[in-house]
Amino acid sequence: MKTIRTTNFLKSLALLTLLFSATATFAQEEEEAKPKFTISGSIDAYYRANLNSANSGENYSVPGSSFANLPGFALGMANVIAGYEGEKVGFVADLVFGPRGTDAIFASPMYSNTGDIINQLYAYWNVSDNVTLTFGNFNTFLGYEVISPVANFNYSTSYLFSYGPFSHTGLKADFDLGNEWSAMLAVMNPTDLTEFNPNGKYAYGAQLGYSGQYLNFLADDGSFEVDFTGGFDVSEDFFLGINAAYFDGAEGIGSFAGAAIYPQLATSENFTIGLRGEYFTETDFFGAIGASDADGDASVFAVTLTGSATIGDLILKPELRLDSASEDSFLDADGEPLGSLSSFVLAAVYSF
In this predicted structure, the answer to whether residue 20 has a pLDDT above a threshold of 60 is: no
- Do 73 and 49 touch, CB atoms closer than 8 A? no
Task: Answer whether CATH 3.40.50.300 is correct for domain 37-351.
Answer: no
Q: Which of 111, 121, 216 is nearest to 174 (CA)?
A: 216
Q: Which of 149, 150, 79, 155 is nearest to 117 (CA)?
A: 79
- Do 231 and 239 touch, CB atoms closer than 8 A? yes
In this predicted structure, the answer to whether residue 253 has a pLDDT above a threshold of 90 is: no
What number of residues does the chain have?
352
DSSP 234-289: -SSSEEEEEEEEEEEPSTTT-EEEEEEEEEEEEEETTEEEEEEEEEEEEETT--SS
- Do 170 and 189 touch, CB atoms closer than 8 A? yes
| Partner residues linked to 351 by β-bridges | 42
Q: Residue 293: its pLDDT value, please? A: 56
Calculate mean pLDDT across residues 44-52. 98
Q: Residue 290: its pLDDT value, please? A: 62
Q: Residue 283: its pLDDT value, please? A: 83
What is the amino acid identity at position 343?
A: S
Contacts of 179 (CB under 8 A, 6+ apart): none
Instruction: Tell which wins on pLDDT, 152 or 253.
Output: 152
Calculate mean pLDDT across residues 130-138. 98
- Do 130 and 175 touch, CB atoms closer than 8 A? yes
Q: How far apart are CA 73 and CA 61, in angstroms?
A: 16
**Lowest mean pLDDT: which of 16-25, 45-54, 277-286, 308-317?**
16-25
Q: Domain ranges in the chain?
A: 37-351
Q: In this structure, what DSSP letter does residue 103 have?
A: H
CA 101 to chain centre: 12
Q: How far apart are CA 274 and CA 86, in angstroms?
A: 37
| Partner residues linked to 150 by β-bridges | none
Dump pLDDT digits (tens) for 57-68.
999 999 999 999
CA-angle at 90, arms to 89 and 96, nearest 5°: 160
Q: Residue 297: its pLDDT value, please? A: 83
* Beta strand ranges found along the chain (DSSP E): 36-50, 72-85, 89-97, 118-126, 131-139, 167-178, 181-188, 203-210, 213-220, 223-233, 238-248, 255-268, 271-283, 298-311, 314-325, 330-331, 337-338, 340-351
Dump pLDDT digits (tens) for 180-235.
999 999 999 999 999 999 999 999 999 999 999 999 999 999 999 999 999 999 99
Calculate mean pLDDT across residues 28-36. 60
Dump pLDDT digits (tens) for 255-305.
999 999 999 999 999 999 999 999 999 887 666 676 555 566 889 999 999
Calculate mean pLDDT across residues 119-130. 97
Q: How far apart are CA 65 and CA 68, in angstroms?
A: 9
86, 226, 277 from 306: Cα distances, Å = 38, 28, 11
pLDDT band at 4 (very low <50, low <70, confident <90, very high): very low
